[in-house]
Amino acid sequence: MPKAYVYTRHGGPETEAFADLDRPVPGPGEVLVAVRAAGVNPVDWKLRGGFRRPGEGDARFPVVLGSEAAGVVEETGAGVTGFAAGDEVFGNTPTGAFAEYALLTASVTAHKPAALSFTDAATLPVAAATAYDGVRQLDLPEGATLLVTGAGGGVGVAALQIARAWGLRVVGVAGEAKKDLVEALGAVHVPSGPGLADRVRAVAPEGVDGVYDLVGGEVLAEAAGLLADRTKLITAGAPPETVAALGGARVARARTAAVLDEVAELVVAGELDPHVSRTFPLDKADEALRAVEDGHALGKIVIEVAI
């Protein structure tokens, strides 16, 4: 039976296990893929811990970990058009990706351009698409200054590059270990930690026009204080009520195949490098998840299932 990495109840890493599961059968609107690569995201350990997405019912254990994958179509479910066996695709999955087979949601699945690797494609549905949605939501004019917190993580590296590609000046807050990466991506680096607002003012004395927060907590609160117009404050890293209290909003996710096509095109055009810093084989999925769960991953972590 095909192998998968699962959690068997809600809790910490002790709930995780490798399992042999039946090959899934695609239902209506689903695409069965032989997984080549799966991106690893904070939401994976958050779901394991009991977090539920809006409208999501109770978990049915064992739950396969992972929310995004790239692979080759094996079979399509009822009502699915535009995909056929053998197509190379990437997309979102609510039913797990750290596995030899996964069911992608057809409406958030796109054809993988030949010039895009499976490894890079596997990082686009969650991190890069979230970055894209957020920068677009802020709708800043060319030449405006965008502050990105958590700039060296999965969403951050994509947000920096998309903002630069759209003509924004970008200030990226990240730890010292990520300074070189942030600068290489065309942003001004500001070290994270207490006193953040003063350090941002020093590099952007004319102020910032938008904030894309990817951290939450004190970092979000301090960054919010830098904005004259709080409608230009968004976060992917804090709950809606926290950011609403500061006058901002959660990033509104489009979750469409069209956005996946757009971010793939940016990669192919050389304007977006998802910056995969580490890869792990499926039988080291536990190590891959720990590398994200420690909260300080550099760029993206990917599980290469069959590369």
Ligand X SMILES: NC(=O)c1ccc[n+]([C@@H]2O[C@H](COP(=O)([O-])OP(=O)(O)OC[C@H]3O[C@@H](n4cnc5c(N)ncnc54)[C@H](OP(=O)(O)O)[C@@H]3O)[C@@H](O)[C@H]2O)c1
| Interface residues toward ligand X, by CB under 6 A | 41-43, 126-127, 130, 150, 152-156, 174-175, 178, 192, 214-215, 219, 236-237, 251, 253, 292, 295-297
- Minimum Å gap between C-beta 80 and ligand X is 24
Q: Which is nearer to ligand X, 24 or 153 (CB)?
A: 153
Q: How far is the CB of 230 from ligand X (least distance, A)?
A: 19
> For residue 259, what are the CA distances in angstroms to 136, 203, 276?
11, 32, 20
Q: CB 102: neighbour CB atoms within 10 A?
A: 29
For residues 182 and 172, the answer to whether their CB atoms sit within 8 Å is: yes
9 or 53: CB nearest ligand X = 53
Provide CB contacts within 8 A for 130, sequence distance 6+.
155, 158, 236, 251, 253
Q: Which residues contact 137 (CB under 8 A, 6 or more apart)?
A: 234, 249, 251, 252
In the complex, the smallest distance separating the C-beta of residue 232 from ligand X, rounded to whole angstroms, is 18
**Of residues 161 and 192, the one with the C-beta less far from ligand X:** 192
Mapping DSSP to helix (H, G, I), strand (E, B) and coil, where does residue 113 land?
coil
Pick the closer one to ligand X by CB: 139 or 176. Answer: 176
Q: Helix (H) and strand (E) counts for the chain? A: 10, 16
Spatial distance between the Cα atoms of 199 and 216, rounded to a whole number of angstroms: 18
Q: What whole-number distance in Å separates Cα of residue 68 and Cα of residue 204?
A: 36
CB of 174 to ligand X, least distance (A): 4
Shortest Å, Cβ 150 to ligand X: 3
Which residue number, 4 or 236, has a Cβ lying nearer to ligand X? 236
- Residue 43 or 188: the one with the smaller Cβ distance to ligand X is 43
Would you state the torsion angle of the CA atoms of residues 158, 162, 165, 167, taken in this order, to the nearest 10 degrees? -130
Nearest approach in angstroms of CB 149 to ligand X is: 6
The nearest distance, CB 81 to ligand X, in angstroms, is 26
Residue nearest to ligand X (CB): 153
Q: Of 26 and 172, which CB lies nearer to ligand X in the complex structure?
A: 172
- Residues 6 or more apart whose CB falls under 8 angstroms from that of 258 comprise none
Q: Could you give the CA distance from residue 204 to residue 189 in angstroms, rounded to a whole number?
A: 11
